Amino acid sequence: MRKKKHAELDGDVGFQIAPMLDVIFVIMLFFMSLATDKVVETQLKMTLPSTEPSVDSTQDTPMEETIAIDAEGNITHNEEPVNANELKATFKSLKDQSTAEGDTPIIVTISAASDAKWDVIASVMNAMQAAKITNVSFSVEDEF
Q: To which H or E segment does residue 140 belong?
A: strand 135-140
Q: To which H or E segment does residue 34 belong?
A: helix 17-35
Alpha carbon distance 87, 76 (integer Å): 9
Count of the separate structural domains present in the chain: 1
Integer angstrom CA distances of residue 120 from 15, 107, 112, 129, 137:
85, 19, 10, 14, 16
Is 10 within a domain? no
Find the domain containing 108 and state its range.
57-140
Predicted confidence (pLDDT) per residue in 91-127, tens digit: 899 888 888 888 888 888 888 888 888 888 888 888 8
Predicted confidence (pLDDT) per residue in 76-95, tens digit: 988 888 988 888 888 899 88
Is 14 within a domain? no
Is 2 within a domain? no
Note whether 112 and 140 are within 8 A (CB).
yes
Output the CA torsion sign for 90, 92, 94, 97. negative
Q: What is the pLDDT of residue 78?
A: 86
Reported as a pLDDT band with limits 50, 70 and 90, residue 56 is low
Is 131 within a domain? yes
First-to-last alpha carbon distance for the chain, in angstroms, is: 103
This prediction's pTM: 0.54
Predicted confidence (pLDDT) per residue in 17-55, tens digit: 888 999 999 999 998 888 777 676 677 677 777 777 665
Q: How many CB atoms lie within 10 A of CB 135?
A: 14
* Mean pLDDT over each residue of the chain, to the nearest integer: 80
Is 74 within a domain? yes
Is 92 within a domain? yes
Reported as a pLDDT band with limits 50, 70 and 90, residue 7 is low
Q: What is the pLDDT of residue 61?
A: 77
Residues of the chain above pLDDT 90, percent = 7
Is 135 within a domain? yes
Is 100 within a domain? yes
Q: What is the CATH number of the domain that holds 62?
A: 3.30.420
Alpha carbon distance 58, 53 (integer Å): 9
